[in-house]
Amino acid sequence: MALEQRPVGKLDRAVIFLGPPGSGKGTQAKVLADKYGVPHLSTGDMLRDHVANGTLLGLKAKPIMERGELVPDSLVLKMVAERIERPDCSRGFVFDGFPRTVAQAKYLGELLRAHGLRQPFVIHMVIGHTLLIRRLTGRRTCKVGGEIYNIYDRPPKVEGICDNDGGELIQRPDDREEVIRARLLAYDKQTSPLVNFYRRLGLLYEVDASKSVAEVEQEIVQAVASIRGAR
Ligand code: AP5
């Protein structure tokens, strides 16, 4: 969080970003988490850290992520449960990329109840597949602070260098077109059923994620502000 930024209020719940690869979950989750001063929990980033650090979990996850498939629930759930036990999650948190299967969503419901937390607020990032390939092949991420850029639509001031901290901008290994297609397939088969799962529970808020970053952000910030305080 930037030093001068103060939280706008209490979040006191889990906010979940649900949407296909490239829909803008990470971009918007980071902004929202900074706004409320709560952790941004990206299971993709956590898994990539495990891969980079060569942990046992990382060694198991690496080939699966390289193929664009989902890492088994048994590995992901333990990692998430341990993370939300930490004290910084007591005032709420923003999930980006979790849950991704109905089993993960059910487990999360139990975890939240066990921690006495409110029902989550689920933001569904609605967007067609055609835009996603361009977004993902153009994505570059700062190696230091994780800031997300796009060489077509959101370039840094200096090519390859982060505007915020001068970190090197890198391309994710799973952002190659053939892996992107496998990730989209995994989303359609295993994750998209969560849209109806959360809709039936009355927890889903739909956003048109094909709009500009600023427009999507404005809509999400207003939606989250309007549900604060509500059960
Ligand atoms: P993960 O890291 O979660 O990747 P993902 O879900 O495929 O999503 P992305 O990070 O690719 O996209 P995003 O929606 O965050 O978009 P972003 O904001 O970056 O997962 C990676 C892998 O880890 C999975 O394949 C799986 O193997 C494993 N994994 C992770 N979680 C798991 C789980 N729970 N269970 C099992 N396995 C799991 O934006 C993309 C680009 O678009 C950027 O360049 C950005 O600048 C640009 N952009 C964003 N918004 C806009 C906009 N409105 N207009 C124009 N450009 C935009």
| pLDDT score for 112 | 93
State residue 124 phi and psi, 5-degree precision.
Answer: -95, 115
pTM of the model: 0.93
| pLDDT score for 229 | 54
Q: Give the torsion through C-alpha atoms of 67, 70, 76, 77, to 10 deg.
A: -170
Residue type (1 letter), 212: S
Distance 22 CA to ligand 1 centre (A): 5
| pLDDT score for 37 | 95
- CB burial of 177-205 (b: ≥16 within 10 Å; e: otherwise) equals eebbeebbebbeebbeebbebbeeeeebb
* pLDDT one-digit tens code per residue, 85-109: 999 998 899 999 999 999 999 999 9
Residues 6+ apart with CB under 8 A from 68: 174, 179, 180, 181, 182, 183, 185, 186
Tell me if 63 sits within 8 A of 182, measured CB to CB. no
Best probe residue, ligand 1, of 45, 130, 139, 142 (max atoms within 8 Å of C-beta): 139
157 is catalytic: no
| Mean pLDDT across 167-196 | 96
Distances (CA, A) of 47 to 98, 126, 157, 195: 12, 25, 29, 24
Distance 223 CA to ligand 1 centre (A): 21
**Nearest CA owner, ligand 1 atom 23:** 44
Percent of the chain at pLDDT above 90? 87
**Nearest CA owner, ligand 1 atom 54:** 212
2 band by pLDDT with thresholds 50, 70 and 90: very low
Best probe residue, ligand 1, of 16, 70, 210, 220 (max atoms within 8 Å of C-beta): 70
How many Å apart are CA 164 and CA 98, to the nearest integer? 27
What kind and span of H or E run contains 170? strand 169-170
211 is catalytic: no
Tell me if 84 sits within 8 A of 111, measured CB to CB. yes
127 band by pLDDT with thresholds 50, 70 and 90: very high
What kind and span of H or E run contains 224? helix 213-227
139 is catalytic: yes
**Does residue 225 have a pLDDT over 60?**
yes
**Does residue 1 have a pLDDT over 60?**
no
Distance 8 CA to ligand 1 centre (A): 26
